[in-house]
């Protein structure tokens, strides 16, 4: 018995006339069937209906005939292939101060991605206008087909069902904004909005699954981003856990064990982020620079007038003693909280990313040490603690994976097929 079966409702198990076409194309898309005879065997549908529906799928451009397959006697069958080039996904990732846009095919393969500095506090209209401009330019440049889906990652909680940000602390003006409506208007395509760290978690999962390195470990995965703020993306049983209000993973403001009088930007005292987040390290770094405790940061502060998390990270990488010390300390603090979460969640894989974490092994080693010391042996027996992919594209890859999940759902594809070819449901 596999886990799928336990959640399958009977509705999902029946092929009705109007979605045989969907079932057949899905069998090809997911690599389970390559020939018409595979399709007949796997779907339980008769030969003539398979032939008719495949013909329709070819006409719609969903499938194409590929090389000849291996004959098992008789005529050599032609293999079928899902035409991933028929549509385009637009995937967008907003950070607090940067913006990434990718265009991919329907397999989630990135055709091109561009990144630029962008301040999310510019508000939704201006920010999304910029996205539309960037994506449209990429689409034109590569002469890409219709946009099938738009995915937007934002650095704040999102009500996934409506795609609306919910009281996002660092995104003034975005609360409740209809991002879906905006994108539908711009691209004529459905849009899904998610928390940025959720997309990163999905991206790491997709890469791990594709390379099949760690069995089922990626089915229970935590992605922890230690950038300006601190947040986590949670994969439970292969699926994103978003929680009752879409705020799951919001661990920046958990109370830390250490005595602290530091007031967080949220107003509370003793928040993890107020001690170990990038914004806190930059804040402390400015004082250290002024007090001549860090030559590296003093130089940066003189040149630029302020410090940002990346300065701390670069300082640590360049060997500045102060920066090394605070990054290691941040690693231990984050590790304390993660130890609690490892006991609670028992992940198979803990991925650590973000500006502060991208300091070679320094931050990671501190996290590892603390988690292994403070978690139960069973919870860490098979746990792998690894750095995030260094290419910083995991959010875009995760967005494309989310687009596939949403687009290749039965209801969505059946609707698409119906609209593209009314014949398909009007009986044969």
146-185 residues in contact with a copy of itself (CB under 8 A) are 157, 166-167
Query: Which residues touch 409 (CB under 8 Å, ≥6 apart)?
Result: none
Residue 26 near a copy of itself by CB under 8 A: yes
Size of the site for a copy of itself (CB under 8 A): 82
Cβ proximity to a copy of itself: between 2 and 303 the closer is: 2
In the region spanning residues 207 to 266, those forming contacts with a copy of itself, defined by CB under 8 A, are 216-217, 219-220, 232, 234, 236-239, 241-251, 253-257, 266
Residue 410 near a copy of itself by CB under 8 A: yes
CA dist 158 and 245 (Å) reads 8
User: What's the alpha-carbon Rg for the chain, to the nearest Å?
Assistant: 24
Residue 392 near a copy of itself by CB under 8 A: no
Judged by CB under 8 A, which of 101, 151, 339, 385 binds a copy of itself?
339
Q: Are 198 and 225 in contact (CB under 8 A)?
A: no
The neighbour count for residue 346, using CB atoms within 10 Å, is 16
Judged by CB under 8 A, which of 291, 344, 426, 428 binds a copy of itself?
344
Cβ proximity to a copy of itself: between 12 and 419 the closer is: 12
Q: What's the closest the beta carbon of residue 134 comes to a copy of itself, in angstroms?
A: 28
Residue 75 near a copy of itself by CB under 8 A: no
CA dist 107 and 110 (Å) reads 9
Which residue's structure tokens are 């500045």? 320
Give the residue from 145, 243, 229 showing the smallest Cα distance to 187. 145
Residue 78 near a copy of itself by CB under 8 A: no
Cβ proximity to a copy of itself: between 17 and 116 the closer is: 17
CA dist 414 and 424 (Å) reads 10
Judged by CB under 8 A, which of 196, 284, 311, 336 binds a copy of itself?
336
Q: How far is CA 422 from CA 56, 407, 408, 417, 419, in A?
A: 11, 19, 19, 8, 6
CA dist 396 and 207 (Å) reads 12
Taking contact as CB under 8 A, which single stretch among the options 74-82, 115-123, 276-284, 409-417 is the one that binds a copy of itself? Answer: 409-417
Cβ proximity to a copy of itself: between 54 and 138 the closer is: 54
Judged by CB under 8 A, which of 34, 35, 38, 43 binds a copy of itself?
43
Element (H, E) at 66: strand 63-68
């Amino acid at each position: 018995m596999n886990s799928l079966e336990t959640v399958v409702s009977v509705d999902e198990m029946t092929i009705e006339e109007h979605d045989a076409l969907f079932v057949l194309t899905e069998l090809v898309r997911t690599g389970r069937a390559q020939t018409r005879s595979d399709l007949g065997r796997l779907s339980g549908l008769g030969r003539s209906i398979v032939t008719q529906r495949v013909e329709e799928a070819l006409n719609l451009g969903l499938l194409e005939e590929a090389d000849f397959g291996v004959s098992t006697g008789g005529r050599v069958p032609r293999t079928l292939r899902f035409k991933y080039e028929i549509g385009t996904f637009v995937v967008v990732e907003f950070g607090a101060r940067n913006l990434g846009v990718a265009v991919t095919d329907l397999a989630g393969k990135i055709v091109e991605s561009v990144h630029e500095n962008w301040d999310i506090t510019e508000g939704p209209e201006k920010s999304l206008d910029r996205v539309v401009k960037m994506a449209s330019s990429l689409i034109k440049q590569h002469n890409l087909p219709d946009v099938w889906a738009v995915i937007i990652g934002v650095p704040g909680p999102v009500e996934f069902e409506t795609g609306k940000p919910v009281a996002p602390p660092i995104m003034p003006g975005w609360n409740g904004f209809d991002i879906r409506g905006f994108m539908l208007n711009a691209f004529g395509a459905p849009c899904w909005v998610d928390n940025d760290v959720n997309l990163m978690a999905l991206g790491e999962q997709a890469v791990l699954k594709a390379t099949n390195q760690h069995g089922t470990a990626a089915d229970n995965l935590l992605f922890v981003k230690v950038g300006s703020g601190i947040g986590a993306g949670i994969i439970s049983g292969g699926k994103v856990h978003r929680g009752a209000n879409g705020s799951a993973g919001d661990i920046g403001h958990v109370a830390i064990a250490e005595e602290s009088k530091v007031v967080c930007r949220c107003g509370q005292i003793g928040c993890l982020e107020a001690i170990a987040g990038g914004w806190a390290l930059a804040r402390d770094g400015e004082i250290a620079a002024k007090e001549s405790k860090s030559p590296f940061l003093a130089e940066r502060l003189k040149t630029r007038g302020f410090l940002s998390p990346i300065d701390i990270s670069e300082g640590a990488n360049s060997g500045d003693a102060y920066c090394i010390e605070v990054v290691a300390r941040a690693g231990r603090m984050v590790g304390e909280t993660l130890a609690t979460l490892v006991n609670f969640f028992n992940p198979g894989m803990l991925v650590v990313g973000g500006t502060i974490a991208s300091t070679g092994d320094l931050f990671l080693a501190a996290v590892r040490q603390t988690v292994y010391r403070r978690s139960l042996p069973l919870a860490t027996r098979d746990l792998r603690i690894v750095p995030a992919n260094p290419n910083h594209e995991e959010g875009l890859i995760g967005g494309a994976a989310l687009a596939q999940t949403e687009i290749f759902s039965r209801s969505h594809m059946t609707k698409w097929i119906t609209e593209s070819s009314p014949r398909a449901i009007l009986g044969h």
